[in-house]
């Protein structure tokens, strides 16, 4: 698999990890959801770090990139803030779960609703990377990022 496809596969793997968290929320298995959220958050943080170290600095080698390093950096910082916000809201929502099934379903719905913005921004960011950044960067930078990310997402 080439470096670009490896990076795309990492994005898909991160999406699957987040979906497994949300699947546990839907199943009202909040303990499993918490565990899966921690796994996803760790993998996502490592992924952003790998991109910060291998991809964003390589943009200096690109003549007139579609989006500059500051755009990707700002998106990464926004994503970190959104992840922090979401994990905090999740922790608050499940800190004292109601006993009734209907109330627990309402908690689950609130959690899923609160994940919407995070998922939307992640999807948009990954599209930007896959449609521009990955195609503009030198192969060496892509290979470095793919290798760094492979150890993080298990691919």
CATH topology of domain 3-153: 1.20.120
- Cβ atoms 40, 10 nearer than 8 A: no
Nearest alpha-carbon partner for 10 in 59, 49, 56, 57: 49
- Blockwise average pLDDT, block size 10, the chain, 155 residues: 85 97 97 97 93 88 86 95 96 92 96 95 95 86 78 54
Q: Taking the model in full, what pTM does it have?
A: 0.89
Predicted local distance difference test score (pLDDT) of residue 154:
56
The structural domains of the chain, with segments of one domain joined by +, span 3-153
Half-sphere exposure at residue 140, Cβ-oriented, CA atoms within 13 angstroms: 5
């Amino acid at each position: 698999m080439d470096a670009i496809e490896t990076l795309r596969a990492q994005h898909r793997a991160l999406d699957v990890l987040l979906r497994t968290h949300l699947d546990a929320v839907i199943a009202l298995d909040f303990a499993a959801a918490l565990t899966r959220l921690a796994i996803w958050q760790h993998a996502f943080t490592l992924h952003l770090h790998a991109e910060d170290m291998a991809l964003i600095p390589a943009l200096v080698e690109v003549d007139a990139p579609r989006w500059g390093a500051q755009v990707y950096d700002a998106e990464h910082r926004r994503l970190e803030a959104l992840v922090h916000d979401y994990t905090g809201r999740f922790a608050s929502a499940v800190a004292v779960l109601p006993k009734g099934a209907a109330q627990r379903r309402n908690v689950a719905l609130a959690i899923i609703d609160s994940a919407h913005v995070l998922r939307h921004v992640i999807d948009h960011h990954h599209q930007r990377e896959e449609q521009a950044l990955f195609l503009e960067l030198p192969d060496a930078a892509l290979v470095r990022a793919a290798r760094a990310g492979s150890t993080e997402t298990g691919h």
